[in-house]
């Protein structure tokens, strides 16, 4: 029902939502979206009649208010749009029709690498190297900005995308043509959920799904379960927001929230500032949930005003939220699928690791847990300092990522701890690579105002750049002597980072143990130089007089932290930082490329190449056919992440991608990262399953992207070479996997790469939500083992020839619940994971891109 809302002197048109009081806040936002876009009655009833505990069989089609991208996912998305323009022209259509239908906002924050550190010129030098490596990609983004309507680019060096979203871009309530409606923000990074802490519903989607949304397609999602988490009490003196989020990550992973939405409510929420809330919501993917929403309340409005939003817009958000039932009432929670409870007073100082963000342990238990891994004795003397290191030596200490560098409470705590440590004469150990890469430029402003910059620099934490850096694997090389010691002595060295991801092989290829920790603990571990230490009872080091210095001696009190925050952080810092956020520096301006209907591809480019997905596409989709005579490309275990499938870190010269690039004349020192070369399908398909820590059960005793070629006497070779051999012989490939396949980042190349290698199906025990969607988007069939079954239970070795039958039914109106899989003499039923009619349509067309292009041709 259309209604009107008056805020001050302005009148807004709204779509009134009279939702049941028991309906969770997130579903009220979805309901408004359906009503405003005239969704089918069945979809509306699925929300108005939502029950906490019911089977979820109905999908709803949502229309995002905007799409949010970063450069490493944004570049390949733009490559696809450019390729779609080419294909549209080749099919006789107007390429200019391939254009965003809703705002598309891209932030360049994923490309800067921590090459230089601990020096005053670290920021300048890393930025120079960033442009040297990525000018070609950035020029392509400039073309997109000039050629596509509604496509906004935030240039490099402005901050991390999610922090820019929270501090500047997020509207909470959109206003367009006199109409007000919720800011439903879907992004190509899984941590888009950070904006949930501001009361904005949003989550991560694959790049290919984002492309469809940009072109006006709805995003289909099963009506979800919603888990309520009641917070109460207050954090103890020694605990931080990081400790709280690690506790919640452990708790929610254990409960099981994959495919569900989490909502926080209760009296503890009202006591949490927005900066703590967004720290929690940021790690929704680590919980496994689709989103992690904090409803709008007075603290939300205060934060909007404080960060420079106009008073009129802050007023609109408050009035709209109250009118539409989106205002948080801590005493009257909605009904939830499950009700969880956390007393904030029970949170203790913690870290998570060494391989997964949900593997939390109390700080006092780190030493024992590390030693329990049973490392053989090993010591190495460093040539530069003459000092010895062993297993557990901290090779990287990084204050990094949107999760923690958005939050003044932990950032100020890190600065104060550094100040106290410097006053006691402590320094970071010489083998530790120390970096500081804040999520917001405002951080350096309040550090300067508080006089904390020099103390951090004395401990080695000089500003290395404004970007994701270490958290996404752009950590750069280790100190040379440390790298040699790792190689020669097999040392298990550690990284301690204030990030949100610590999956195997992600942070740095030579570092096996990776721990998530708060920024002040990152500083503490840099001083200690090892995780083989109990920071709660053993000294970090000694002062110049030989007296032991303990963590408790340096830890700032909440009063000290609060005094700095209240004394130096002011609203004008945000308005000043974002006044020129869309303006790039002179290097960005020099990259200017005139707009044109189609992109002038450079055939010699090693960064941006036209993708082949649409080559030879017919106006009509061919009939769906069974998968016959397939071979297993890789057979994987549980919790295989998108980092395992499509690594983001450095391209090693010895890898198939490295050999390809060096063969084209690219110097070894300019190979860059997989993340930076996502616009080149030739690189990325060679990087599929190339993570140095991948363990393929078809090649026991090996690590990395190796597999047998069953067409060549089971000869073990690279995954890429085996896949190409299968393609040359017209043999389809499949992947077998365990629980949680595709966890982690919403990385579209984890589906695109396998698709280009000829993978036709993935059969797994379970899938992470975004990755399963991405597989469908690339025309790969996701199949799930039935309960109690799996490769081991069925006796599969992975050496069988695989056939999947029954796919012809996908051309009909009713989808079969299962398909028949035959592996030599073993036959079983596998659950079909095309979860919505829209997904079935995508699969019939061979993926999202041909589906959208064919529909554009019909308009």
CA dist., res. 98 & res. 94, Å (int): 8
Q: Is 781 helix (H, G, I), strand (E, B) or coil?
A: strand
Structure tokens at 100: 């965003």
Q: How far is CA 712 from CA 709, 715, 802, in A?
A: 5, 6, 18
Q: Is 848 helix (H, G, I), strand (E, B) or coil?
A: helix
Give me the long-range contacts of 382-389 (CB less than 8 A, separation at least 24). 382/430, 382/431, 382/481, 382/482, 382/485, 383/481, 383/484, 384/430, 384/479, 384/480, 384/481, 385/430, 385/431, 385/481, 387/429, 387/430, 387/431, 389/431, 389/482, 389/485, 389/491, 389/493, 389/529, 389/530
CA dist., res. 450 & res. 522, Å (int): 20
Number of other CB atoms surrounding residue 730 within 10 Å: 8
Which backbone phi and psi does 342 adopt, to 5 degrees?
A: -135, 125
Structure tokens at 652: 């090693």
Domains of the chain, CATH where assigned: 66-346 (3.30.499.10), 350-578 (3.30.499.10), 627-646+688-858 (3.20.19.10)
Cα angle for residues 94, 100, 105 (degrees, 5° grid) = 150
Q: What pLDDT was estimated at residue 582?
A: 92
Report CA Rg, the chain: 26
Helix (H) or strand (E) holding 841: helix 837-845
CA dist., res. 428 & res. 317, Å (int): 46
Cis peptide before 354 (omega within 30 of 0): yes
Name which of 482, 426, 410, 420 is nearest 459 in CA terms.
426
Residues β-bridged to residue 263: 228, 293
Structure tokens at 832: 């079909």
Q: What pLDDT was estimated at residue 369?
A: 97
Q: Running DSSP on this structure, what letter comes out for residue 393?
A: B
Q: What pLDDT was estimated at residue 374?
A: 93
pLDDT digits (tens, 9 = 90+) for 596-630: 999 999 999 999 999 898 988 888 999 999 999 99
CA dist., res. 117 & res. 395, Å (int): 13
Contact between 79 and 752 under an 8 Å Cβ cutoff? The reply is no
Q: What pLDDT was estimated at residue 21?
A: 85
pLDDT digits (tens, 9 = 90+) for 100-135: 999 999 999 999 999 999 999 999 999 999 999 899
Residue spans of the chain under pLDDT 70:
593
Q: What pLDDT was estimated at residue 424?
A: 97
Contact between 232 and 333 under an 8 Å Cβ cutoff? The reply is no
Place of tokens 């229309």: 63
CA dist., res. 844 & res. 411, Å (int): 50
Name which of 244, 246, 226 is nearest 235 in CA terms.
244
Q: How far is CA 126 from CA 406, 440, 482, in A?
A: 21, 17, 21
CA dist., res. 475 & res. 145, Å (int): 29
* Crossing angle of the two packed helices 749-756 and 769-777, in degrees rounded to 10: 40
Q: What pLDDT was estimated at residue 202?
A: 97
């Amino acid at each position: 029902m259309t209604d009107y809302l008056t805020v001050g002197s302005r009148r807004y048109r709204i779509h009134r939502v009279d939702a049941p009081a028991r309906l969770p806040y997130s579903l009220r936002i979805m309901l408004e979206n359906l009503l405003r876009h005239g969704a089918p009655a069945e979809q509306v009833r699925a929300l108005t009649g939502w029950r906490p505990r019911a089977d979820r069989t109905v999908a709803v089609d949502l229309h995002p208010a905007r799409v949010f991208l970063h450069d490493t996912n944004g570049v390949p998305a733009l490559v696809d749009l450019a390729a779609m323009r080419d294909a549209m022209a080749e099919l006789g259509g107007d390429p200019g029709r391939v254009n965003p239908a809703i705002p598309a906002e891209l932030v360049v924050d994923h490309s800067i690498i921590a090459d230089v550190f601990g020096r005053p010129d670290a920021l300048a030098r890393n930025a120079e190297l960033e442009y040297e490596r990525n000018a070609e990609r950035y020029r392509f983004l400039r073309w997109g900005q000039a050629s596509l309507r509604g496509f906004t680019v935030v240039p490099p060096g402005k901050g991390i995308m999610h922090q820019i979203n929270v501090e500047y871009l997020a509207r909470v309530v959109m206003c367009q043509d006199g109409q007000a409606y919720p800011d439903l923000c879907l992004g190509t990074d899984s941590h888009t959920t950070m904006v949930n802490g501001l009361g904005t519903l949003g989550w991560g989607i694959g790049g290919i799904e984002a492309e469809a949304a940009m072109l006006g397609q709805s995003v289909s999602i099963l009506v979800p379960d919603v888990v309520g988490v009641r917070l109460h009490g207050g954090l103890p003196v020694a605990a931080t927001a990081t400790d709280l989020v690690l506790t919640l990550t452990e708790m929610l992973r254990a409960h099981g929230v994959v495919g569900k939405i989490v909502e926080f409510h209760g009296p503890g929420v009202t006591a949490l500032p927005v900066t703590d809330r967004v720290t929690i919501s940021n790690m929704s993917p680590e919980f496994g949930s689709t989103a992690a929403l904090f409803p709008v309340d007075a603290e939300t409005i205060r934060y909007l005003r404080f960060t420079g939003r106009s008073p009129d817009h802050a007023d609109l958000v408050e009035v709209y939220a109250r009118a539409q039932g989106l205002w948080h009432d801590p005493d009257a929670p909605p009904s939830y699928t499950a009700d969880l409870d956390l007393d904030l007073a029970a949170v203790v100082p913690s870290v998570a690791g060494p391989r997964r963000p949900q593997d939390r342990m109390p700080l006092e238990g780190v030493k024992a847990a590390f030693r329990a891994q049973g490392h053989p004795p090993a010591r190495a003397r460093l040539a530069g300092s003459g000092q010895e290191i062993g297993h557990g030596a901290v090779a990287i200490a990084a204050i990094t990522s949107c999760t923690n560098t958005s939050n003044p409470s932990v950032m100020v705590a890190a600065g104060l701890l550094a100040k106290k440590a410097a006053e006691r004469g402590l320094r970071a150990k010489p083998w530790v690579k120390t970096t500081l890469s804040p999520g917001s430029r405002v951080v350096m402003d309040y550090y300067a105002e508080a006089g904390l910059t020099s103390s951090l620099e004395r401990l080695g934490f000089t500003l290395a750049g404004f970007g994701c850096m270490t958290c996404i694997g752009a950590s750069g090389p280790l100190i040379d002597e440390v790298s040699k010691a790792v190689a020669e002595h097999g040392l298990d060295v550690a990284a301690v980072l204030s990030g949100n991801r610590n999956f195997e092989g992600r942070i740095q290829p030579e570092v096996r143990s990776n721990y998530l920790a708060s920024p002040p603990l990152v500083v503490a571990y840099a001083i200690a130089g090892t995780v083989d230490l109990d920071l709660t009872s053993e000294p970090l080091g000694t002062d110049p007089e030989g007296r032991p210095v303990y963590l408790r001696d340096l830890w700032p009190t909440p009063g000290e932290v609060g005094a700095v925050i209240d004394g130096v952080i002011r609203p004008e810092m945000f308005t000043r930082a974002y006044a020129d956020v869309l303006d790039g520096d002179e290097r960005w301006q020099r990259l200017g490329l005139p707009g044109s209907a189609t992109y002038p591809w450079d055939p010699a480019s090693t960064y941006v190449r036209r993708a082949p997905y649409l080559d030879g596409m017919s106006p009509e989709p061919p009939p769906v056919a069974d998968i016959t005579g397939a071979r297993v490309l890789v057979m994987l275990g549980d919790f295989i992440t998108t980092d395992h499938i499509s690594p983001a870190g450095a391209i090693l010269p010895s890898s198939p991608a490295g050999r390809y690039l060096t063969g084209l004349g690219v110097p070894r020192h300019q190979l860059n990262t997989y993340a930076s070369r996502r616009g080149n399908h030739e690189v990325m398909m060679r990087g599929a399953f190339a993570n140095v820590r991948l363990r393929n059960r078809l090649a026991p005793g090996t690590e990395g992207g190796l597999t047998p070629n069953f067409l060549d006497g089971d000869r073990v070779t690279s995954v890429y070479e085996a896949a190409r051999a299968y393609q040359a012989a017209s043999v389809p490939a499949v992947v077998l996997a365990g629980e949680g396949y595709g966890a982690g980042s919403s990385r579209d190349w984890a589906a695109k790469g396998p698709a280009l290698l000829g993978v036709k199906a993935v059969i797994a025990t379970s899938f992470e939500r975004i990755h399963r969607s991405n597989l469908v988007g690339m025309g790969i069939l996701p199949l799930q083992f039935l309960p109690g079954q799996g490769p081991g239970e069925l006796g599969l070795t992975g050496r069988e020839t695989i056939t999947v039958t029954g796919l012809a039914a996908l051309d009909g109106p009713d989808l079969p619940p299962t398909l028949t899989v035959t592996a030599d003499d073993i036959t079983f039923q596998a659950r079909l994971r095309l979860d919505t009619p829209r997904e079935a349509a995508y699969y019939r067309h061979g993926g999202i891109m041909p589906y959208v292009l064919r529909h554009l041709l019909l308009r």
